[in-house]
């Protein structure tokens, strides 16, 4: 076993050999001076306080940065933040140690040694970009654009969608992100299909939604946190919101459904420590109970959902009134008042009393008669088996507690907040749908206290382009139908079209086999793919198939060492300018500092696109032209008829990029158009008065264009919890298959069948029949790391220096683990890794929990044992083969089987003591800006 | 004289560790040393008989502070204006008598400098009318700074709003700690006498 040679002294000393070949991130002597926490205060000049916005995770908390002599010397929460009220979490406050970290990638580098060694040489930006563009266009000419693929990640960066935009402008059909199908895509997409809301109108508080919870006067009294842990996923934003509501005199009661006792679970009125992977069974139980006990909102269900619509049993699609000789666009219902099957106009007619349940004879125009059920009836029958008792058995819960939880939900002003837990296993689509069905049944739509809201839909719009989501806006107008067809795994799992991304196991398989074609050039941006991808060893095994790989990030990671041929140095959030919308306000994220030759990521991709355009890629040329990329249709209004659009082109320089971001932004005081420097100067602005912005029941308000209520973005203008649109998605790609031609039908060749109502799948690896690997692995966040980020930040690593596995005492006794802190080996059918045991009642017997840890300290010597990504990483164990989610292609990151055994120590030479992390403290030195040249455009 | 201190509502604390990092940044606390340390308490072996909370420990601002009494050189002292227990690093000789005297283990000897350090309630901020860094930044809004003798202070109001049964202090051996904690039975069992 190799030994880490790097004490702090030798780390610095080794890096002083700034010869032709150096290790990435061993250049501590060239650091720009650090925070005054480490510098002499005596010559300090005046301190400036700057409004900016954190992006250490996706929450975007406003921060006040204290700056002296161009250096960031202190960070604190911004009291003006309307969603944070001055709060700042450990990750955000540690931003200084991320910014001034000695590991920063400082300039572009090109590999000099073999992959697996940390050997690179410094090159100019031009040389780096020319090298990449040459490789890209050579591959384009030789193999076609599909030889190139890109990837991205959610950790700590404001430009997550750059890789999708670049792929679309290059003509490459494949981009992926390890979250995505395993995080947020199922819940976000299903909400668009059911609620017809805008991209951010859904039940996920961790993805900056559920805005009702940022108001102290909300009528919300009960909250169901289903696989959500807002106190840990976003401590200073989502956690702050929940804490403030809990602290009210009237409080906030909570039901927490989570196998872990998170901070939220430990404060819950009812904690249901569910067996991981069985959530859909529990949701179907709730649906059944609420139907059986008639606890749903009958009026809302009749008037504003498609539950009463009669369904064609042959197609599973709601019958259009045209099919019975009525008006196209109306639907068909059984009206109790008239005692017959009638067509259902919009809005709901006075005097109707439509049947929610039952089966009725419908005579079609061609004279045939079919027995047709209502959508609600179909759902009811699907849930038939999930009684309280059966479900308690499946989920390892207590039937009485389940009932108590349902009653708390149904008997109060409540909402269901749906976290990402259920996105991490193949039942993801059904969980997303069932959660929305519950909220629709209860009428929790745009009413006080509800998660689903259309705040800000009416009244002044922010006028900025946020450009940090997937899907629409990502240069979609440049995508061809052929690219949609070639997108790996997307025709089978058509939910991927919503975010314009590919199915990760299908990309892996194509790299391995060359079928249906071979992706071979990899442009990656994000942290450590070797820590974040499911079953990472299967990815490591195909690295020899990758002809050329570029890694763009702020630091080198395991991925850099094992796979990258070129390193692109990118900016930390304290270096990235961008306007950020928070409720009815806009905050400036400012370029508070800028170190070395690091690039704004969007500008890196733009410049690479320009280089490819110079080499003859015409699509890349078009990507700089407004007329080509933004046909002027807005797609963010939540209508299924989404259309292609609302992208911004690549910018020629950063000033132009800021103009694009600030597109229609207006200074509320003058009514004049506002520039980004003006926003920075002025500080946060309010673009819409709160009383205009925060309105309930937007769907009931009259649309002046039609004289009718706005309704929802679906065809029926109702919410559609009987999700026949999901069935249509499978058969055609509608409404997500979007390209230059607009919304396209992918046709019979690509047709697959999805279900309109949920069904439960027992996990593929299950404790019910697995004696070799007896324990269920679950997953979840800790509050001081986001994804794979920040493991090289001393203040955070000393909080949790090593990987940790939670295990119940009963299991610890069974498997011979004596004390918390003891090392254990954890194995699955994919591999083995190590962690320190935490023996705790915070995890139910039969289950264990471990996070995705990796060890940056193992990068710096030329380790051949791959310890940086294998020593403590649960993704060595996770499962990336079938079954996948039908709609979203989700693989298994939780709810698979492991075994554990005690070991004497971790066999890798990781750092465990606080003093060891001092190697990553900022090292003050003289300014070295003369050594760095940042091209104008970057 | 006033008695400034921090009250922490453990019913709200989420163990996010923001206060540890805020403290380190504001006060330049070395790695491995804590002026404010958050400890996780897990009570009971398994659901449903399981409780969990986090307990941040810092200088308790004793009203009869033994550290002040035992310091041979007057380095541990009370501020003349606001009565806060502070350390004058210039005077400290590193004898560590105060560490032996402190019942709560909130003081740390730093070998490099031969000084003893501890939480000073961010005196550099509070004297400017600001709040301690851990209080301002707290994501759960569970820390309340103020004069325990002033009924209008954030500290006193937090205590007054809590059930009397759920207000706790560290064991008092005559040193009279000022800091206070709010913890309801539903969330956890106070681990100390008192």
Q: What is the DSSP letter of A237?
A: I
User: Nearest-5° angle of CA A50, CA A56, CA A62?
Assistant: 35
What ipTM describes this predicted complex?
0.97
pLDDT, one tens digit per residue, over A458-497 is: 999 999 887 666 666 788 889 999 999 999 999 999 999 9
Q: How far apart are CA A646 and CA B177, in angstroms?
A: 61
Nearest-CA residue of chain B relative to A797?
A: B31
Which tokens is A311 given?
């369904």
> Are A483 and A506 found together in one domain?
yes
Of B14, B48, B137, the CB nearest to A231: B14
Distances (CA, A) of A189 to A277, A382, A581, A636, A640: 20, 22, 22, 13, 11
Q: Answer yes or no: is A782 within a domain.
A: no
A815 close to A827: Cβ distance less than 8 angstroms: no
Question: Which alpha helices (H) appear in A279-350, and where do they start and end?
Answer: 279-292, 298-304
A292 close to A308: Cβ distance less than 8 angstroms: no
Asked whether the beta carbons of residue A243 and residue B12 sit closer than 8 angstroms, the reply is yes
Q: How far apart are CA A502 and CA A481, in angstroms?
A: 15
In the predicted model, what is the mean pLDDT of chain A? 91
Surface-to-core class of residue B53, CB atoms within 10 Å of its CB (0-12 exposed, 13-18 middle, 19+ buried): buried
Q: Answer yes or no: is B188 within a domain.
A: no
Q: How far apart are CA A465 and CA A661, in angstroms?
A: 5
**pLDDT for position A24:** 52
What average pLDDT does the segment A362-388 reach? 98
pLDDT, one tens digit per residue, over A71-96 is: 899 999 999 999 999 999 999 999 99
What average pLDDT does the segment B153-172 reach? 97
Sign of the dihedral through C-alpha B83, B86, B90, B93 = positive
CA distance A704 to chain B (A): 43
Q: Answer yes or no: is B9 within a domain.
A: yes
Of B22, B25, B141, the CB nearest to A243: B141
Element (H, E) at A775: strand A775-778
Distances (CA, A) of A207 to A526, A538, B61, B169: 18, 29, 41, 39
Residues of A numbered 575-594 whose beta carbons fall under 8 angstroms of chain B's beta carbons: which are they?
none
**pLDDT for position A931:** 60
Q: Residue A474's domain is classified under what CATH number?
A: 3.40.50.740
**pLDDT for position A916:** 96
Asked whether the beta carbons of residue B139 and residue A267 sit closer than 8 angstroms, the reply is no
Q: Among A674, A693, A712, which residue terminates a domain?
A: A693
User: Nearest-5° angle of CA A564, CA A528, CA A536?
Assistant: 90
What average pLDDT does the segment A384-391 reach? 98
Asked whether the beta carbons of residue A783 and residue B52 sit closer than 8 angstroms, the reply is no
pLDDT-above-90 percentage for chain A: 84
A75 close to A93: Cβ distance less than 8 angstroms: yes
Q: Answer yes or no: is B193 within a domain.
A: no
pLDDT-above-70 percentage for chain A: 91
Q: Answer yes or no: is A142 within a domain.
A: yes
A879 close to A765: Cβ distance less than 8 angstroms: yes
Of B9, B15, B47, the CB nearest to A841: B47
Place of tokens 């690479």: A608
**pLDDT for position A806:** 98
Residue A296 pLDDT grade (very low, low, confident, very high; cuts 50, 70, 90)? very high
Of A266, A784, A844, the CB nearest to B46: A844
What average pLDDT does the segment A110-138 reach? 95
> Are A564 and A583 found together in one domain?
yes
Place of tokens 């209004």: A637
Neighbours of B160 (CB within 10 A): 10
> Are A158 and A87 found together in one domain?
no
Asked whether the beta carbons of residue A841 and residue B44 sit closer than 8 angstroms, the reply is yes
A224 close to A405: Cβ distance less than 8 angstroms: yes
pLDDT for A182 beyond 50:
yes
**pLDDT for position A157:** 66
Longest dimension (CA), chain B: 53
Q: What is the CA radius of gyration of chain A?
A: 27
Residue A129 pLDDT grade (very low, low, confident, very high; cuts 50, 70, 90)? very high
pTM of the model: 0.95
Helix, strand, coil percent content, chain B, rounded in steps of 5: 20, 25, 55
Q: Is A921 on the interface with B (CB under 8 A)?
A: yes
> Are A170 and A39 found together in one domain?
no
CA distance B26 to chain A (A): 7
> Are A87 and A152 found together in one domain?
no
Neighbours of A8 (CB within 10 A): 17
Q: With contacts defined as CB-CB under 8 Å, which chain B residues touch A263?
A: 14-16, 52, 54
What average pLDDT does the segment A60-64 reach? 97
Nearest-CA residue of chain B relative to A843?
A: B46
A518 close to A492: Cβ distance less than 8 angstroms: no
Asked whether the beta carbons of residue B137 and residue A842 sit closer than 8 angstroms, the reply is no
Q: Give me the DSSP letters along A656-717.
A: HHHHHHTTT-B-TTT-SB--HHHHHHH--EE-S-HHHHS-S-GGGSBPTTTSSB---SSTTS
Closest of A739, A614, A694, A757 to residue A194, by C-alpha? A757
**pLDDT for position A626:** 86
pLDDT, one tens digit per residue, over A857-907 is: 999 765 678 999 999 999 999 999 999 999 999 999 999 999 999 999 999
> Are A662 and A595 found together in one domain?
yes
How many residues are given for chain B? 194
Q: Answer yes or no: is A480 within a domain.
A: yes
> Are A535 and A639 found together in one domain?
yes
Asked whether the beta carbons of residue A915 and residue B138 sit closer than 8 angstroms, the reply is no
Q: How far apart are CA A259 and CA A168, in angstroms?
A: 40
**pLDDT for position A208:** 85
**pLDDT for position A161:** 84
Of A240, A398, A914, the CB nearest to B32: A914
Supply the range of the domain harboring residue B42: 4-182
Which backbone phi and psi does A111 adopt, to 5 degrees? -65, 135
Q: With contacts defined as CB-CB under 8 Å, which chain A residues touch B44?
A: 841
**pLDDT for position A42:** 44
Q: What is the DSSP letter of A163?
A: H
Asked whether the beta carbons of residue B139 and residue A235 sit closer than 8 angstroms, the reply is yes
3-class DSSP state of A233: helix
Supply the range of the domain harboring residue A127: 109-179+469-693
Higher pLDDT: A267 or A925? It is A267
What average pLDDT does the segment B164-175 reach? 97
Q: Answer yes or no: is B191 within a domain.
A: no
**pLDDT for position A25:** 45
Q: Give me the DSSP letters along A909-925.
A: ----SGGGGGGGS----
Residue A11 pLDDT grade (very low, low, confident, very high; cuts 50, 70, 90)? very low
Nearest-CA residue of chain B relative to A913?
A: B32
Interface test with B, best of A90, A272, A819 (most B CBs within 10 A): A90
B41 close to B188: Cβ distance less than 8 angstroms: yes
**pLDDT for position A638:** 56
**pLDDT for position A930:** 53
Neighbours of A547 (CB within 10 A): 16
Nearest-CA residue of chain B relative to A914?
A: B32
SS (HEC) of A517-531: CCCCEEEEECCCHHH
3-class DSSP state of B110: strand
Which backbone phi and psi does A805 adopt, to 5 degrees? -120, 130
- Please, which residues have CB within 8 angstroms of residue B164's CB and are 6 or more apart in sequence? none
**pLDDT for position A269:** 97
CA distance A675 to chain B (A): 31
A194 close to A433: Cβ distance less than 8 angstroms: yes
Which tokens is A927 given?
């300014």
Closest of A581, A728, A555 to residue A103, by C-alpha? A555
Q: Answer yes or no: is A528 within a domain.
A: yes
Q: Among A80, A104, A128, which residue terminates a domain?
A: A104
Cβ–Cβ pairs < 8 A, chains A and B: 143
Interface test with A, best of B11, B12, B15, B18 (most A CBs within 10 A): B18
Q: How far apart are CA A504 and CA A539, in angstroms?
A: 10
Q: Residue B174's domain is classified under what CATH number?
A: 3.30.70.20
Nearest-CA residue of chain B relative to A838?
A: B42
Q: Among A672, A693, A714, which residue terminates a domain?
A: A693
Q: Answer yes or no: is B192 within a domain.
A: no
Distances (CA, A) of B181 to A700, B13, B42, B188: 48, 11, 17, 12
A649 close to A478: Cβ distance less than 8 angstroms: no
Q: How far apart are CA A515 and CA A264, in angstroms?
A: 46
Which tokens is A484 given?
């949609």
User: How many domains is chain A built from?
Assistant: 2
Residue A915 pLDDT grade (very low, low, confident, very high; cuts 50, 70, 90)? very high
**pLDDT for position A160:** 79
pLDDT, one tens digit per residue, over A335-356 is: 999 999 999 999 999 999 999 9
> Are A80 and A146 found together in one domain?
no
- Please, which residues have CB within 8 angstroms of residue A713's CB and are 6 or more apart in sequence? A192, A195, A196, A197, A637, A638, A639, A640
**pLDDT for position A644:** 59
Q: Answer yes or no: is B190 within a domain.
A: no
Element (H, E) at A649: none
pLDDT for A23 beyond 60:
no
pLDDT, one tens digit per residue, over A683-739 is: 999 999 999 999 999 999 999 999 999 999 999 999 999 999 999 999 999 999 988
Higher pLDDT: A416 or A474? It is A416
> Are A648 and A634 found together in one domain?
yes
Which tokens is A294 given?
């008639």
> Are A35 and A53 found together in one domain?
yes
User: How many domains is chain B built from?
Assistant: 1
Place of tokens 């009684």: A387
Residues of A numbered 362-421 whose beta carbons fall under 8 angstroms of chain B's beta carbons: which are they?
398, 401
Q: Give me the DSSP letters along A105-134.
A: --S-EEE-S-TTS--EEE--HHHHHHHHHH
Q: Residue A42's domain is classified under what CATH number?
A: 2.20.25.90
Chain B residues within 8 A (CB-CB) of chain A? 9, 11-12, 14-18, 20-22, 24-26, 28, 31-32, 42-54, 133, 136-142, 187
> Are A49 and A89 found together in one domain?
yes
Residues of A numbered 248-277 whose beta carbons fall under 8 angstroms of chain B's beta carbons: which are they?
261, 263-264, 266-267, 271, 273
Of A74, A85, A918, the CB nearest to B31: A918
Q: What is the CA radius of gyration of chain B?
A: 16
Question: Which alpha helices (H) appear in A442-557, and where do they start and end?
Answer: 481-486, 496-499, 504-513, 529-532, 536-540
pLDDT for A14 beyond 50:
no
A892 close to A424: Cβ distance less than 8 angstroms: yes
Q: How far apart are CA A459 and CA B20, in angstroms?
A: 42
User: Nearest-5° angle of CA B109, CA B110, CA B111?
Assistant: 110
């Amino acid at each position: 076993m190799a030994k880490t040679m790097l004490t702090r002294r030798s780390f610095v000393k080794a890096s002083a050999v700034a010869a032709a070949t150096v290790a990435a991130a061993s250049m501590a002597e060239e650091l720009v001076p650090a925070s005054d926490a480490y510098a002499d205060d005596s010559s300090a000049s005046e301190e400036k306080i700057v409004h900016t916005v954190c992006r250490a995770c996706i929450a975007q908390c406003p921060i006040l940065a204290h700056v002296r002599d161009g250096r960031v010397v202190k960070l604190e929460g911004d009291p003006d933040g309307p969603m944070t009220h001055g709060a700042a979490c450990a990750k955000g406050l540690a931003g200084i140690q991320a910014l001034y970290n000695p590991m920063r990638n400082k300039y572009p580098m090109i590999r000099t040694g073999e992959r697996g060694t940390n050997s690179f040489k410094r090159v100019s930006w031009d040389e780096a970009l020319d090298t990449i563009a040459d490789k890209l266009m050579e591959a384009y000419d030789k193999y076609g654009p599909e030889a190139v693929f890109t990837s991205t990640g959610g950790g700590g960066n404001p430009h997550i969608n750059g890789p999708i935009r670049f792929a679309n402008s290059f003509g490459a059909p494949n981009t992926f992100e390890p979250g995505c199908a395993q995080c947020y895509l199922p819940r976000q997409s299903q909400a668009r299909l059911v609620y017809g809301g805008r991209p951010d109108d859904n039940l996920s508080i961790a993805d900056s939604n559920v805005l009702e919870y940022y108001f102290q006067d909300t009528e919300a009294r009960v909250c169901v946190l289903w696989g959500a842990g807002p106190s840990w996923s976003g401590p200073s934003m989502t956690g702050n919101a929940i804490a403030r509501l809990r602290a009210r005199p009237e409080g906030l009661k909570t039901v927490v459904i989570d196998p872990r006792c998170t901070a939220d679970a430990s404060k819950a009125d009812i904690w249901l420590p569910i067996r991981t992977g069985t959530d859909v069974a529990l949701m179907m139980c709730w649906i059944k109970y609420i139907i059986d006990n008639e606890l749903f909102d009958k009026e809302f269900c009749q008037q504003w959902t498609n539950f009463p619509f009669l369904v064609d049993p042959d197609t599973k699609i709601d019958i259009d009134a045209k099919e019975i000789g009525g008006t196209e666009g109306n639907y068909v219902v059984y009206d109790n008042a008239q005692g017959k099957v009638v067509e259902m106009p919009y809005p709901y007619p006075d005097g109707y009393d439509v049947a929610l349940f039952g089966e009725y004879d419908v005579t079609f125009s061609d004279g045939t008669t079919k027995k047709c059920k209502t959508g609600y009836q179909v759902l009811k029958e699907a849930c038939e088996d999930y009684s309280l008792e059966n479900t308690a058995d499946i989920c390892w819960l207590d039937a009485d507690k389940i009932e108590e939880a349902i009653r708390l939900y149904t008997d109060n002003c409540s909402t269901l907040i749906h976290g990402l837990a259920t996105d991490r296993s193949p039942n993801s689509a059904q969980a997303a749908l069932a959660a929305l069905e519950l909220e629709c049944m209860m009428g929790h739509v745009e009413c006080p206290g509800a998660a689903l809201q259309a705040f800000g839909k009416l009244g002044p719009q922010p006028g900025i382009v946020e450009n940090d989501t997937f899907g629409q806006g990502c240069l979609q107008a440049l995508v061809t139908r052929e690219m949609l067809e070639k997108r790996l795994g997307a025709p089978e799992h058509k939910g991927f079209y919503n975010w314009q991304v590919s199915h990760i196991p299908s990309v892996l398989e194509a790299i391995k086999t060359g079928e249906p074609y071979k992706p071979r050039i990899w442009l990656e941006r994000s942290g450590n793919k070797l820590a974040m991808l499911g079953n990472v060893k299967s990815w490591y095994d195909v690295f020899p198939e990758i002809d050329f790989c570029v890694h763009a990030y702020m630091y080198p990671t395991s991925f850099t060492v094992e796979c990258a041929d070129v390193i692109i140095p990118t900016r930390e959030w304290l270096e990235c300018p961008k306007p950020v919308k928070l409720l009815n306000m806009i905050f400036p994220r400012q370029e508070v500092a800028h170190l070395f030759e690091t690039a704004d990521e969007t500008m890196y991709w733009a410049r690479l696109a320009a280089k490819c355009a110079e080499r003859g890629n015409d699509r890349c040329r078009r990507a700089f032209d407004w007329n080509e990329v933004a046909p002027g249709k807005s797609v963010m209004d939540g209508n299924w008829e989404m259309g292609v659009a609302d992208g911004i082109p690549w910018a020629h320089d950063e000033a132009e990029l800021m103009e694009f971001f600030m597109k229609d932004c207006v200074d509320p005081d003058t009514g004049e158009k506002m520039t980004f420097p003006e926003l920075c100067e002025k500080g946060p602005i309010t673009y819409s008065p709160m009383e205009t912005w925060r309105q309930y029941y937007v769907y009931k308000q009259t649309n002046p264009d039609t004289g009718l209520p706005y309704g929802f973005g679906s065809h029926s203008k109702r919410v559609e919890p009987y999700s026949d649109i999901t069935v249509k998605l499978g058969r055609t790609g509608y409404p997500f298959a979007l390209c230059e031609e607009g919304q396209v039908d992918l046709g019979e060749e690509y047709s697959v069948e999805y279900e309109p109502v949920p069904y439960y799948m027992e996990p593929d690896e299950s404790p019910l029949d697995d004696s070799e690997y007896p324990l269920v692995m679950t997953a979840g966040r800790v509050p001081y790391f986001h994804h794979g980020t920040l493991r090289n930040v001393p203040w955070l690593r000393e909080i949790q220096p090593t990987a940790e596995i939670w295990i119940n005492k009963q299991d610890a006794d069974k498997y011979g683990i004596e004390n918390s802190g003891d090392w254990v080996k954890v194995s699955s059918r994919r591999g083995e890794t190590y962690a320190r045991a935490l023996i705790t009642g915070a995890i139910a017997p039969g289950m264990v929990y471990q996070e995705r840890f990796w060890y940056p300290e193992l990068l710096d010597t030329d380790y051949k044992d791959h310890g940086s990504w294998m020593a403590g990483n649960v993704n060595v164990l996770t499962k990336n083969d079938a079954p996948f989610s039908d709609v979203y292609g989700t693989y298994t990151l939780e709810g698979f089987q492991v075994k554990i055994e005690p070991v004497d120590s971790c066999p890798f030479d990781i750092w465990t003591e606080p003093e060891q992390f001092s190697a990553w403290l900022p090292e003050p030195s003289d300014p070295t800006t003369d050594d760095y040249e940042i091209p104008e455009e970057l | 004289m006033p008695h400034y201190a921090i009250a922490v509502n453990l019913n709200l604390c989420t163990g996010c560790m923001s206060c540890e990092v805020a403290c380190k940044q504001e006060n330049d606390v070395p790695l491995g040393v804590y002026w404010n340390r958050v400890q996780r308490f897990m009570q009971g072996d398994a659901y449903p008989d399981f409780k969990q909370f986090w307990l941040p420990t810092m200088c308790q601002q004793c009203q009869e502070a033994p550290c002040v009494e035992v310091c041979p050189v007057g380095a541990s002292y009370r501020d003349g204006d606001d009565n806060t227990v502070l350390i004058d690093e210039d005077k400290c000789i590193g004898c560590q008598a105060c560490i032996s005297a402190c019942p709560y283990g909130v003081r740390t000897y730093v070998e490099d400098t031969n000084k003893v350090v501890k939480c000073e309630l961010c005196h550099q901020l509070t004297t400017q009318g600001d709040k301690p860094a851990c209080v301002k930044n707290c994501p759960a809004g569970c820390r309340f700074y103020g004069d325990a003798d002033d009924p209008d202070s954030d500290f006193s109001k937090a205590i007054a709003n809590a059930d009397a049964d759920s207000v706790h202090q560290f064991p008092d051996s005559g040193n009279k700690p000022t800091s206070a904690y709010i913890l309801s039975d539903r969330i956890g069992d106070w681990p100390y006498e008192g």
